Structure 1
């Protein structure tokens, strides 16, 4: 998911260069998300300052409309979306205390000037759900691509997941920063007897 989120951010930046009227989206890494999802009383804000400062220099989080947090919890992926414009937090599935900790860390690091933990929580229900236990990561990827901050583009349907799995694998295998050769991957995973 970390590589996919990075590729997602690059793709979104390229789309913004072509059309600056689109919703500006950014997906945080699962490494940072893992640091943020602990109980607020146990959260150490300094643990995220360096990462947030470096991230902000490259991406300027204060200009983003939607911030996405892909989260894996006990083998299950969920997604949180923070809408900076509407001051809403939407979550797709269950979640802990990630938003409160992210808000504290960003304010301390000087990355954001809004306390997003005070935003209204929304619980969208009109979006496609997964049909099997192993597709939650793919749904999380599609939620990031399809959520515009107000509604989900529901043109993807459960029967399309198998094809999206192939597409996502191809995107990740051919990603310029992926240092695994496609031939090595095929030999290791596809030629098994």
Structure 2
């Protein structure tokens, strides 16, 4: 089982005092999967040049790891950056199962969120909710979901989720106009 760990990578002033969340996730995954390979963009090809100045290399490296992965776990416990949000779409492009760790009342998940003219009881950022195959509260639940997904051959969203979302939008919009 190859699992890609998507989430925050510290940069600049964030590096000092950073606690690597991936250590906990790797430990939990290793306890569940005997044949585990963790694909970690923060530790990719340790000892080799990182080529941080080469955008195509960095993008290609992470996209390749997602392509090689059997599944992706996204840590959204903190505010996600641009790279992680792109990794969600790349995972859908390659039709990989994505489980996102997103605790209630965190940056991208709010209770009783007032937005526009509505209050949503359990608001999950739509770009996370639509592209994740599962949203869970913690790393333990992510590992459990992944094990169940492997055992039961879960249904996985692929890049068609974008077209499906557009069609859903147009359908609901049409219904709203007909009901007006």
- TM-score (normalizing by structure 1): 0.28
Larger strand fraction of residues: 2
Higher relative CO (Cα under 8 Å, sequence separation at least 6) belongs to 2
